[in-house]
């Protein structure tokens, strides 16, 4: 079940959903979603100096991104086919009976701006700001300004509260974030996989020359 604007206001009033800083509900609340604003910090991938990323080798994750901080009133220019990490300004705390879906904004989508590539689901019990996987699939560079409405949250009520909230799980990798979080997928790989020697690719067989 998706919460309406009335439900969202009531959950916030009761303290079941909390934000820091508190969004302006009169401007950011729609019929069944709540707009979130863009923070000043971004992480830009260092593709010019990083040869590749091996998800089973933590050492290949070192320095894969560079932190960029944009002052208020100044734009971050996102070029076509560019992919960056951003984060919303508001830190959110969810109860165990609510999950959240991150959706883009229609006006930005019409410019080719996508705010999440796959991670659009926020688990119940989450606490912290939400990292955005922002890309420009359009044909033109687009300016993004800190403080602008960048995405919207849709709140979904569970049939029953989760037994274990996101921040209570030992395997949670992205709780309590306040800045864009890089991928920690390497923590999921097994040590055997990390140390395993893989066969080198075989050289193609040379064709024998046939006598005419």
Q: How far apart are the first and last CA of the chain?
A: 76
Q: Give the angle subtended at the CA of 146 by the CAs of 150 and 15, to the nearest 5°.
A: 65
Give pLDDT tens digits for 150-176.
999 999 999 999 999 999 988 888 889
From CA 37, how far away is CA 188, in angstroms rounded? 31
Whether 104 and 114 have beta carbons less than 8 Å apart is answered as: yes
Average pLDDT over residues 11-19: 97
Domain borders along the chain are 5-173
Q: Which of 46, 83, 82 is nearest to 67 (CA)?
A: 46
Q: Where are the alpha helices (DSSP H) in 152-205?
A: 191-195
Task: Indicate if 10 belongs to the active site.
Answer: no
> Quick one: what percent of the chain has pLDDT higher than 70?
89
> How many Å is the Cα radius of gyration of the chain?
22
Q: Which of 112, 123, 41, 120 is nearest to 76 (CA)?
A: 41
From CA 61, how far away is CA 113, in angstroms rounded? 26
Enter the DSSP assignment of 198: P
Q: Which of 98, 73, 67 is nearest to 161 (CA)?
A: 98
Give pLDDT tens digits for 58-103.
888 888 999 999 999 999 999 999 999 999 999 999 999 999 999 9
Residues 6+ apart with CB under 8 A from 31: 4, 5
Q: Which of 59, 133, 182, 188 is catalytic?
A: 133
Class of the 5-173 domain?
A: mainly beta
Give pLDDT tens digits for 138-147.
999 999 999 9
């Amino acid at each position: 079940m998706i919460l309406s604007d009335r439900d969202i206001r009531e959950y916030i009033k009761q303290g079941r959903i909390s934000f820091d800083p508190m969004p302006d509900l009169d401007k950011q609340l729609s019929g069944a979603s709540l707009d979130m604003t863009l923070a000043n910090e971004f992480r830009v991938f260092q593709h010019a100096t990083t040869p590749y990323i091996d998800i089973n080798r933590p050492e290949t994750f070192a320095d894969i991104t560079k932190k960029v901080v944009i002052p208020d009133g100044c734009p971050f220019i996102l070029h076509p086919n560019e992919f960056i990490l951003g984060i919303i300004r508001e830190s959110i705390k969810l109860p165990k009976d609510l999950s959240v879906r991150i959706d883009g904004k229609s006006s930005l989508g019409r410019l080719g701006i996508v705010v999440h590539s796959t991670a659009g689901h926020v688990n119940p019990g989450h606490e912290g700001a939400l990292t955005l996987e922002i890309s420009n699939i359009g044909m033109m560079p687009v300016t993004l300004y800190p403080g602008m409405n960048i995405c919207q949250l849709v709140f979904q009520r569970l049939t029953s509260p989760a037994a274990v909230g996101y921040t209570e799980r030992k395997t949670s990798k992205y709780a309590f974030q306040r800045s864009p979080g890089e991928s920690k997928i390497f923590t999921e790989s097994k040590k055997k996989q990390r140390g395993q020697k893989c066969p080198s690719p075989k050289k193609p067989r040379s064709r024998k020359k046939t006598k005419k």
